[in-house]
Structure 1
């Protein structure tokens, strides 16, 4: 039993205060810098005192830079990645739990391995595949020289999905985190559900759509928000997969958010900090609105 103690309470409050300062200080630093003008930044450097140029910086970011288009790109990529991951996680989890396949455990293990192999570790391979998605077709057709024997030359198809929304979205779908969570949730459901649905004449698809999908609403909503925020903040792969500013996401665009500057010039940090605030609005609003859904969904709480 833990006894009430003022010293313990004070220590807990002190630790909490230190944690809040540690988390909030970078945010305060970003906000204060965003209120400065570029001229003031060049003269004074980084300052802890707020300025009065925040609205003007926001107007400049919105009207002069490519950030609005890049925000739209981020929205398209985040929605596409989220829906794709949710669809794959739900269907694969349903198959693993309710179908007794011979190699089901092996397939499930292979899916979970993808959690330990994020796309950042495979960026070179992913780039090679995205630059030519016909590589497997070429390999099969040219095996043992079959295509060359028939047509006189090897097959060399080339289909690139780089510099497109598909090229950014598809490689980001390869993760088993959602499958892991939904499999654990579906295993808590009564086994008699499948038997009752079969006795009522429901096939696998109807059972999945009418029974399992409504029951999986809470964890799927939590995963949807989690996947959306994760896709919104992706940096490395969108930077590699898109070579034109018109297809850059907002996070990538922040690294080049300058107005008429040269490469040797000191970056316009007030403008970049303003852009960071604008880019952060969408995930912050989602977290603020759906925080309880995230917690209740991942803990399977009824509240």
Structure 2
């Protein structure tokens, strides 16, 4: 029996709101700083309420090259294309590889699975030089293919799909065979709808993973118009002879946060269900 205490949830709620405040306050400061001019921020007495330069700062950030080497709008587009391609590519390849591992019988099937699993120990940072050499030899530098293709393979997503496919009842497979469904129809008509929540959860995680990439994009891009917004933020804060315009940096940071936040909010229900559901 659960005791209904009047103030029983007071302390947990206070701790929760304190944690939200600690996490959200820096974001609030960045938002406020993006609405003031450079002089207000530089004098160290920036107020905690919005200024009147928001439209000017965001317009300059989106349209002017400045210290980032390219307009933020172009870098946001590059980041969006990279994140979407990485997320979609990882999901597509992982779905097919997990499907083959579970529902097809071929020689060295288990060896193939363990070979995929072992790649978890080899992140991009470990194989960075040979990957860069291959990308350079194939002339993939400063291209969307170079930004995305080396990051598409995912052992983690393959493992998650494999574990989910193992929970699918064999009766569904038999029913599909009785109905005359082949492997392709069974995959599209049965497995894909069942794995919708798992796919949504993976898409959110992989989109954020692709959006936040820094090391690989900075290696394969030399032109300013091909760099991602994460690289742009780093360039804008680099110490040079030119004074850093922090109001533009903060405006860029707020713009860089929007796409991941929108993806999480739009897919929140499916994302949570994909993480917590145990029965499909």
Match of residue 128, structure 2, among 114, 123, 132: 123
Higher CA-based Rg: 1
Aligned mates of 1:114, 1:26 — CA distance in 2: 37
Displacement after TM superposition at 1:203 (Å)? 2.5
Whole-Å Cα distance in 1 between the matches of residues 212 and 76 of structure 2? Answer: 11
Match of 1:164 among 138, 143, 164: 143
Within the alignment, does 1:226 sit opposite 2:205 as a pair?
yes
Structure 2: gaps (5+ residues): 66-70
* Contact 2:94/2:153, CA 8 A, preserved across alignment: no
Deviation at 1:202, TM superposition (A): 2.8
| Equivalent residue number for residue 28 of structure 1 | 28
Q: TM-score, normalised by structure 2?
A: 0.87
Match of 2:158 in 1: 179
1:190-228: per-residue Cα shift (whole Å, max 9, x none)?
Answer: 112223333333332222222222222222233223222
Answering whether residue 221 of structure 2 is matched by residue 242 of structure 1, we say: yes
Does 1:288 find its partner at 2:265? yes
Q: How far has the Cα of 1:4 moved from its partner?
A: 4.8
Task: Name the CA distance, whole Å, in 2 between partners of 1:43 and 1:23.
Answer: 25
Selected match of 2:256 from 273, 279, 282: 279
Alignment RMSD: 2.5
CA distance in 2, matches of 1:106, 1:79: 31
Contact 1:219 1:300 in 2 (8 A): no
Distance across 1 between alignment mates of 2:127 and 2:262 = 32
* Aligned residues between the structures: 275
Task: State the distance in 2 between where 1:122 and 1:2 align.
Answer: 54
Q: Does the 8 Å CA contact 1:239/1:248 hold for their aligned counterparts?
A: yes
Taking the TM superposition and a 5 Å limit, the aligned residue runs for 1:78-117 are 78-117=83-122
SS at match of 2:250: helix
Task: Give the Cα separation in 2 of the matches to 1:262 and 1:116.
Answer: 35
Residue number in structure 2 paired with 1:43: 43
Residues 129-148 of structure 1: pairs in structure 2 closer than 5 A: 129-132=134-137
Q: Is the 8 A contact 2:31 2:254 kept in 1?
A: yes
Post-superposition, which runs of at least 4 consecutive aligned residues in structure 1 deviate over 6 A?
none
Q: CA deviation at 1:288?
A: 1.5
Q: Distance in 2 between matches of 1:290 and 1:100?
A: 35
Contact 2:87 2:203 in 1 (8 A): yes
Is the partner of 1:255 in helix, strand or coil?
Answer: helix
Cα deviation for residue 51 of structure 1 reads 2.5
Give the corresponding residue for 1:268.
245
Q: 16-25 vs 165-174, which deviates more?
A: 16-25
- Which shows bigger deviation, 3-12 or 238-247? 3-12
Distance 1:104 1:302 in 2: 26
8 Å contact kept, 1:218–1:296: yes
Q: TM-score, normalized by length of structure 1?
A: 0.81
